[in-house]
A = this chain, B = another copy of it.
Amino acid sequence: MITDKIKIAVLGYGNIGCAAEESVNSAPDMVLTGIYHHNDDLKKIKADVVLICTPTREVEHYAEKLLKRGISVIDSFDIHPQIYSLRQSLKPIAEAHKAVSIISAGWDPGTDSVIRTLLQAMAPNGITYTNFGPGRSMGHTVAAKAIKGVKDALSMTIPVGTSIHRRMVYVELEKNAKFAQVEKAILKDDYFAHDETHVIPVPSIKELNNVAHGVLLERYGVSGNTHNQRFEFKMEINNPALTAQIMTACARAAYRMCKQKKYGAYTLIEIPPIALLPGDEETNIRTLV
Contacts and interface: CB of A to CB of B under 8 A. Distances in A.
B230 A231 contact: no
A289 B120 contact: no
A273 interface: yes
Contact of A84 (B114, B272, B286): B286
A225 B245 CA distance: 10
Most buried by B among A116, A238, A248, A285: A285
Interface in A61-90: 80, 83-84, 87
Copy number in the complex reads 2
A238 B234 contact: no
Interface in A273-287: 273-274, 276-278, 284-286
Interface in A109-127: 109, 111, 113-118, 120-124
9 contacts: A19-B226, A84-B286, A87-B285, A115-B115, A115-B233, A121-B249, A121-B277, A232-B232, A270-B274
Given A120-B277, A223-B238, A231-B235, A271 B269 contact: no
Contacts of A114: 114, 118, 273
Most buried by B among A20, A122, A289: A289
Interface string A211-250: 0000000000001111011111111111001101110110
Interface string A1-23: 00000000000000000011011
B223 A245 contact: yes
A267 interface: yes
Contacts of A249: 121-122
A104 interface: yes
A268 to B, nearest CB: 8
A273 B117 contact: yes
Contacts of A122: 107, 111, 242, 245-246, 249
A111 B225 CA distance: 20
A26 interface: yes
A248 B118 CA distance: 13
Given A122-B249, A244-B223, A232 B231 contact: no
Contacts of A248: 224
Contacts of A288: 113, 116-117, 120, 269
B83 A289 contact: yes
Nearest to A217: B233
B246 A236 contact: no
